[in-house]
Structure 1
Amino acid sequence: MAEQKPKIRSVKYNVLMNMILTTSSFIFPLITVPYVSRVIGPDGMGAISWVQTFVSYFSLVAVLGINAYGIREVARVRNDQEKLSAVTQELMTILVVSTAITYAVFLLTTFTIPKAREDEPLMLIFGASIWLTSCGINWFYQGIEQYGYITARNLVFKALGLVLMFAFVHQSSDYRTYAVILIIGSAGSNLFNLIKLHEYVHFNRHRKLNIRRHFKPMFSFTVSSISSGMYGQLDMLFLGFLGTNNAMGLYQLVAKIRNIAGSAVNSVGSVMLPRLSYYESQEDGHDRTSRLVAKNLNFLFIAGLLFIAGIVICADPIILILGGQQYLGARLALIISSLTILFSPINTILSQYMIARGQEKLYAIINTIGLVGGVMLCLSLIPTFGIAGAALSSIGIEIITLVLRGFFVRSFLREITRHLDFGRIFIAFALSSLIGFATAHAVHGINVFGQFIICALAIGVPYLALLLLFRESFICSILKPIIAKIVAKVRRK
């Protein structure tokens, strides 16, 4: 069967698909987290979270930075069938070898490190994700911008995981069963990536592969991917070594809430790398790059500040809804950690710009500095402040890397300043936050669901209204076409 040429959709379509996927990342945890948090408890959830974090470091090493490098290389040759097939076959060959070596090291550490040996079956269960993640080739489908397929596939397996969870997880001793279900829901769909791959590329064992050509450019991606992935989870890793399972159980809820909100804020930015890489490969693409990045940064500030206000004002209701009374000890850590919801997505979009511009070496250096700084922060803050120290460490890491990235792309940031509306956004945020705090004080003591809904509306509605009143560019660009269509329909009637 002849391979089909990938149909490239618009950025708006890709963003829509990613926002649907992000919305599912809200809905499914809202169903699963309250249930498993209460059934399995802080100790069981703490054990699962630490093993997940530990295993994820091996997954980072196994993929060798191909998640980012592969997106860029696939995006550059997506219109040439033979080059696309060759690049994919070469990168997959590298992945199989690197994953086999990494998995062997993982097995060795599992049976030798005392902390890992505390629950060997759990370690081996999550060890399967090393293969599923590495050989899942998500980078290929992102490179050819098949976000419709990515979204549909993820929704199906998330729904499957939800059904399995309610069917088989009923008591605290079922935490290993829950671990298996987590693997199925998060990485099981990667098997279908391999099955579907033949629709776009063809593998030829007689094809002369030039694997060596990838080693030099991949080096920076490998260093940056491993270091950024490591510093992104250093708080969880060191808390596991320096704290207790109960502390990990409290903090994993903080991390889940932070990640859910962060994914929502980053729903636009996470689809930008293929398009930025494509624009930067064109002679006249830089102006389009500038406008795209500026528009995304406006969205990040709007959404990031909204979520920060919501979490700070509604911290208690959020924890009580998602975890229950036994997780209220995580309140301060949640409030502190909320700042990463803004900093992390900004780091992501600046990183994607650097990658698209071919500045992966500088990107790697910044991530390595962030990793070293993160280790120092964790070692100094976690023993003294516990889970609050872990939250402070996560913020410190993001600030260090954000300042460095901002410095090295400062000329580009000056260039896009005229497209940014940060002043209007911050004023709207400050005013709506005051309304939210006053409302939270007024409704304190009522049902937690009622508190959350009322306070969320008290923050969100004034925020959107003020942005419209101030004529913020991103909001206006979204609403103007909708209003125009409504007006046109009214006139036709």
Structure 2
Amino acid sequence: MARSVGHNAIMNVSLVASNALATMITVPYVSRVLTVAGNGSVSFAQSTANWFQVFCTIGVASYAVRECARVRDDRNKLSILTLEFLVVIGVCSAVSLSEFAAANCFIPAFRSNGVLMWIFLANAFLTAFGVEWFYQATEDYDYIVIRSIVIKVVAVALIVLFVKTPEDYILYGLLLALGTSANNIFNIVRLVRLIQLPQGFGIRDLHPIRHLKALSYFTIMNISTSMYLSFDTILLSMLAPGNYQTGLYQLAAKLKTLILTAITAIVNVITPRLSYLTKDGISGKYTSLLRLSFSFLLTFSLAIGAYMIVYAEPMVVFISSKRFLDAVPSVRIAGAIIFIVSVANILGPLILIPNNREKIFSIACLTAMPASLILNVLLDGRYGAIGASIALACTELVSLLVQIWACRKELRSIVTVKLLAKSIIPSAAASAASLAYLEFGPTPSAFMTLLVGTAIFGLVWVIGLLTVQEPTAMLVLRKFLPERGKHVNHRNNSGEERA
């Protein structure tokens, strides 16, 4: 039986938090133990394998979540669909990884990192067949999170115990790959027990070709997004003198990515549930969950974006020292980008994809590519990290505007001025209180500024949510304070959905 969306979201965010904690432990440790060259070799092999891996799955991961979610109650249909996706992955992996293997043999840069390249090739193979999408579609998040955290703890422990000298960089690469591969091996073994084919089923009953048209759109999405999110750094390195501006930009990018990972984790939980609810057409439960999801993501992203804009300077000083103060404008722009991307995550994964409109989504992603290229060429050389940040914000905005136009009908049914006000007012009040604190309050250190400032921002924000009766805040209040919830305005009940 599927658990509530709230439970799944908490589990997925816990997974993201555990991954962030593991990164905070391993990256500083490995950076001290290994040489820059050793770290670079592992990163090069891993990044190269990731590129080939994109062509192994050609969008299956996103598409399969939707399709499998719709038939999750029928074990036979789910099993057949899963096998069809595995056939597609098998064919694409054979082509992509054969090219990777050939590159390992003939390209000098690949041959010089031969052992690592073969390690991550094997890892790419296992990841392609890792069927994580199956467990997301069936909303088996308890298994996903527990398995991942246990393996992550073991992997981190092995790295700390055995990676001791600069010469251990290959061992580090192996343990890094094993940390991912172990997840996929468990997935595959468990899948064998879950597959249930109907009587008389034969290989001729599989029809993987029927998925190719939809998969082509998902492939365009993945490749387009990867291109404009990767080449901004490359173009900045080429156009701006030296690596100083790239270092500033990377600091802002890492903060943005960390926060967006948590938001994406929540979106990934909601997508299969919405896809499940649309299997027989649009339902009232779909609209209710979509409205609640829109309210939550809008409210949360506004708060995070506002917090980054207001506290950008103490954040930068605390994380990277005063030497990186020039990164403050880029961090503030990153706050705006978080809001733009969060709204796009509502429109694309939560409206377009569940309703078989992936073609529009792919057009939005594809439209962003030339915008990114043109803006980076125009701005990076003159404005450095700030120019690259503005270019990314405008690129994401272009994609968002295309999606808003495509979803205008759905937006009319779920968005009201009152709902927008309930999302905006708490963040505006929290920002005003924070600005007053920064202007008049004592600031002995960046850490204390953030500590006190976060408490002020959070307290005013929560009070604002409860004052305007923001739907998700009221839902939480009813769950934890049922007696108080009886007196809450029941008009907020429209957003509550527990499948």
Output the TM-score relative to the length of structure 1: 0.84
The alpha-carbon distance between structure 1 residues 187 and 260, as it changes in their structure 2 partners (threshold 3 A), is farther
Decide which of 223, 227, 231 is 2:224's aligned counterpart.
227
Decide which of 85, 90, 95 is 1:101's aligned counterpart.
95
Determine if the alignment matches structure 1 residue 385 to structure 2 residue 383: yes
Quick check: 79-88 or 436-445, which moved more?
Answer: 436-445
Deviation, structure 1 residue 329: 5.2
Counterpart of 2:304? 307
Tell me the distance in 1 between the aligned counterparts of 2:472 and 2:482: 16
Counterpart of 2:489? none
Deviation, structure 1 residue 367: 1.5
Determine if the alignment matches structure 1 residue 13 to structure 2 residue 7: yes
Counterpart of 1:281? 279
Deviation, structure 1 residue 127: 4.5
State whether residues 294 and 420 of structure 1, in contact with CA within 8 Å, keep that contact through their aligned partners in structure 2: no
SS at match of 1:415: helix
State whether residues 317 and 448 of structure 1, in contact with CA within 8 Å, keep that contact through their aligned partners in structure 2: yes
Tell me the distance in 1 between the aligned counterparts of 2:159 and 2:355: 44
Unpaired runs of at least 5, structure 1: 1-6, 489-493
Decide which of 445, 467, 470 is 1:469's aligned counterpart.
467
Decide which of 414, 417, 423 is 2:415's aligned counterpart.
417
Matches within 5 A, 1:106-145: 106-107=100-101, 126-145=120-139
State whether residues 224 and 368 of structure 1, in contact with CA within 8 Å, keep that contact through their aligned partners in structure 2: yes
Counterpart of 1:73? 67
Tell me the distance in 2 between the aligned counterparts of 1:337 and 1:215: 36
Determine if the alignment matches structure 1 residue 290 to structure 2 residue 284: no
Between the two proteins, what is the percent identity of the paired residues? 29
Determine if the alignment matches structure 1 residue 398 to structure 2 residue 396: yes
Letter in 2 for 1:80: D
Quick check: 39-48 or 350-359, which moved more?
Answer: 39-48
Tell me the distance in 2 between the aligned counterparts of 1:325 and 1:126: 38
Tell me the distance in 1 between the aligned counterparts of 2:212 and 2:328: 45
Deviation, structure 1 residue 473: 1.8
Counterpart of 1:193? 187
Determine if the alignment matches structure 1 residue 340 to structure 2 residue 337: yes
Residue deviations 1:11-39 (CA, integer Å, cap 9, x gap): 23322322322333454445455656677
Matches within 5 A, 1:153-302: 153-168=147-162, 179-186=173-180, 188-202=182-196, 206-208=202-204, 209-239=206-236, 251-283=249-281, 285-302=282-299
Unpaired runs of at least 5, structure 2: 487-499
Letter in 1 for 2:95: I
Quick check: 427-436 or 351-360, which moved more?
Answer: 427-436
SS at match of 1:339: helix
Tell me the distance in 2 between the aligned counterparts of 1:76 and 1:252: 39
Deviation, structure 1 residue 413: 0.3
The number of equivalent residue pairs is 481
Counterpart of 2:497? none
State whether residues 126 and 181 of structure 2, in contact with CA within 8 Å, keep that contact through their aligned partners in structure 1: yes
Decide which of 55, 65, 81 is 1:61's aligned counterpart.
55
Quick check: 431-440 or 103-112, which moved more?
Answer: 103-112
Deviation, structure 1 residue 175: 6.2
State whether residues 53 and 233 of structure 1, in contact with CA within 8 Å, keep that contact through their aligned partners in structure 2: no
The alpha-carbon distance between structure 1 residues 378 and 43, as it changes in their structure 2 partners (threshold 3 A), is farther
State whether residues 428 and 467 of structure 1, in contact with CA within 8 Å, keep that contact through their aligned partners in structure 2: yes
Tell me the distance in 2 between the aligned counterparts of 1:445 and 1:124: 52
Quick check: 252-261 or 311-320, which moved more?
Answer: 311-320
Deviation, structure 1 residue 417: 1.5
Letter in 1 for 2:89: L
Tell me the distance in 2 between the aligned counterparts of 1:228 and 1:289: 27
Deviation, structure 1 residue 356: 1.1
State whether residues 70 and 140 of structure 1, in contact with CA within 8 Å, keep that contact through their aligned partners in structure 2: yes
Tell me the distance in 2 between the aligned counterparts of 1:333 and 1:24: 27
Quick check: 230-239 or 171-180, which moved more?
Answer: 171-180
Deviation, structure 1 residue 48: 6.5
State whether residues 25 and 260 of structure 1, in contact with CA within 8 Å, keep that contact through their aligned partners in structure 2: no
State whether residues 19 and 152 of structure 2, in contact with CA within 8 Å, keep that contact through their aligned partners in structure 1: no
Deviation, structure 1 residue 383: 3.5
The alpha-carbon distance between structure 1 residues 436 and 295, as it changes in their structure 2 partners (threshold 3 A), is same
State whether residues 343 and 400 of structure 2, in contact with CA within 8 Å, keep that contact through their aligned partners in structure 1: yes
Residue deviations 1:50-79 (CA, integer Å, cap 9, x gap): 765554333222211101111122112222
State whether residues 137 and 190 of structure 1, in contact with CA within 8 Å, keep that contact through their aligned partners in structure 2: yes
Tell me the distance in 2 between the aligned counterparts of 1:57 and 1:282: 37
Residue deviations 1:130-164 (CA, integer Å, cap 9, x gap): 32432211111111111111111221233234324
Quick check: 101-110 or 362-371, which moved more?
Answer: 101-110
State whether residues 477 and 485 of structure 2, in contact with CA within 8 Å, keep that contact through their aligned partners in structure 1: no
State whether residues 49 and 252 of structure 1, in contact with CA within 8 Å, keep that contact through their aligned partners in structure 2: no
Quick check: 156-165 or 297-306, which moved more?
Answer: 156-165
Deviation, structure 1 residue 461: 1.0
